[in-house]
Every structure is written in structure tokens, then in C-alpha cells.
Amino acid sequence: MGSFVMGAPLEQSEAIYLLWNKPKPGEPLGMLTEGPEHKVIIDIPIAMGRNEVTREEWLACVAENGCSHLPDPRILKFGGGYYYADDPRHPVFDVSYFDMLEYITWLNRKAGADVYRLPTEAEWEYAARAGTNSKFAQGDSLTTDQANVGVFRRIDGRSKADPDNRKTPVIVDELDAANAWGLRHLAGNLRERTMSCWSERHLGLSKSSDYLAAANEVDNCRRVAKGGTYQSSAEYARPANRGAGSETYRSRRTGFRIVREMLKE
């Protein structure tokens, strides 16, 4: 257990803000949704999955009738046709929040205890930072050798994707993608769903147990997603960046990983 500073200063998200907004003179440049920065104490001991949940793991749940949804591994190409991310070690996508809960219920049944769940947003960011407070866990920059993210260039005044960008998630064992704690692909590859409900600003809670209680209080909300994707720039893969989606939404860009609550010593 430990503590960390959750969120980011406004200027860290200036690039994303300018991509979507035309600021007025004197207007703050940055994403208010990434603040306020505040200290969070991790007071619930957890172990987080080293990797995103894979197709192999998901299909085991399907085979045992724990998961009712069979995810589609196809990703549509521009101009028609499909890319396929169907290796057993590809991270699973095309699964909703409710689908994820089915997987977790199945896993807990196999464990014989209610110990597995999705991470809260606070737990996810704590793990992604791995003891750092820099822009990325890897430092002030992130390369495509370290994360499956897109590269975009300004051409004729427009942002265009580099033709060498990867077109799908990579298998969980690829790239130099581990942070200092050995957790892989928390930056890029697939955005990862958490159990936390979306709020326009951080709740500013002081303990991870408070964030867990807040997540458990609401049955129907947009759930926070973190980490960036293979189709987005590195700016979206910063630990502080936040997004959200409905509980029924299945995306080709969103997956998940699990945590296990450990006994306090």
C-alpha cells in the first residue's frame, strides 16, 4: 500500500484541449476533468492483473457458460474489409461493463470467494503511475516501442494518422510495455474500464476505500475508462487522462483488467 497524487496540472492536457476547443483570450488551456490534483492513500491492499484480460481467458468463461457474450475480434478497415485481433493472447475487446461483471462473477465462483473486481479509477491510476508523478510512468515522453499508441502529424493544417500506425491492439506480451511495477499496457493498446462512475471533476476523496464506496453506491452510470488506445495519440495514454462510456457500450477500443483484494496484514 502507499499513496499518490491523483490527477494532473491543467497545462499537462493543453494539447488535447486545443484539439477539441477554440479557446477565448485568457481562458485556461487544459482539461478541467483531470483535476483537482489531490493525494489519495491506498488503504485497501490489492493485486492487479499484469495484463489486460485476454481472449483466451474470456473464451474460457464462455466455454463454462459464465460469459454469455462472444466478442467479435474484427476491426473495420477504412475502405472495407477487416483486421483481425483473434490471437488467444490478444486483449479482449467488444465487451461491455455488464459483460465484464459476468466474467468477474465467474472468476469469483471459481475462486470460491468474492475477491475479484474491476479497479476503481483511483486504484487504476495508482497502478499506472507505479510510484511516479511524471506525465507518463516512463517519463515525460512515450514511444511506440513502449506503448501501442498512434502517431499523428499536422499536414495542411489537419491532424493525420501516420500510415505506419498499428491497426489493432497487440498481444499482451508484445512491446516494452511494462511500467516499473511490471504491469503491462496500462498506457495504450486498449482503454480500460474501471468501476468508478464518471464525474466532471475528481471527487477529491482522500482514501482508495472512499473511491470504492462511491463506486458501489451507484447502480447506473457512465463508467470511467483510462489508458488510451491503439488509435489515439500518446496524450490520451497519460495516467491522468479520463474518459467514460455507458454500461452497455461495447467498443473495439476498450478492454479491462482485474484486481484481487488481498487480506490486510
Beta bridge partners of residue 40, listed in sequence order: 4
Predicted local confidence at residue 237, as pLDDT: 98
Average pLDDT, the chain: 94
Q: What are the beta bridge partners of residue 260?
A: 47, 116
Q: What's residue 158's pLDDT?
A: 67
- Give the alpha-carbon dihedral of 190, 16, 147, 208, to 10 degrees: -60
- Omega prior to 36 cis, within 30 of 0: yes
Q: Are residues 71 and 89 in contact, defined by beta-carbon separation less than 8 angstroms?
A: no
Q: Which domain holds residue 93?
A: 2-261
Cell 484481487: give the residue.
260
Half-sphere exposure of 165 (CA within 13 A, CB side): 20
Question: Model's pTM, two decimal places?
Answer: 0.94
Give me the pLDDT at residue 26, please: 78
- Give me the number of domains the chain comprises: 1
The pLDDT confidence band at residue 19, using thresholds 50, 70 and 90, is: confident
How far apart, in Å, are the Cα atoms of 126 and each of 122, 133, 151, 186? 6, 10, 26, 11
What pLDDT, on the 0 to 100 scale, is given for residue 1? 81
CB 178 within 8 A of CB 145: no
Buried b (16+ CB within 10 A) or exposed e, 151-189: ebeeeeeeeeeeeeebebbbbbeebebbbeeebbbbbbb
Task: Give the pLDDT band of residue 203 (cuts 50, 70, 90).
Answer: very high
Task: List, for residues 81-113, the tens digit of each pLDDT value.
Answer: 999 999 999 999 999 999 999 999 999 999 999
pLDDT digits (tens, 9 = 90+) for 160-200: 777 778 999 999 999 999 999 999 999 999 999 999 999 99
Residues 58-79 pLDDT 10s? 999 999 999 999 999 999 998 8
**Full DSSP string of 65-119:** TS-------EEEPTTS-EEE--STTSBP-S--HHHHHHHHHHHHHHHTSS-EEPP
Per-residue pLDDT at 39: 98
- Give the domain CATH number at 214: 3.90.1580.10
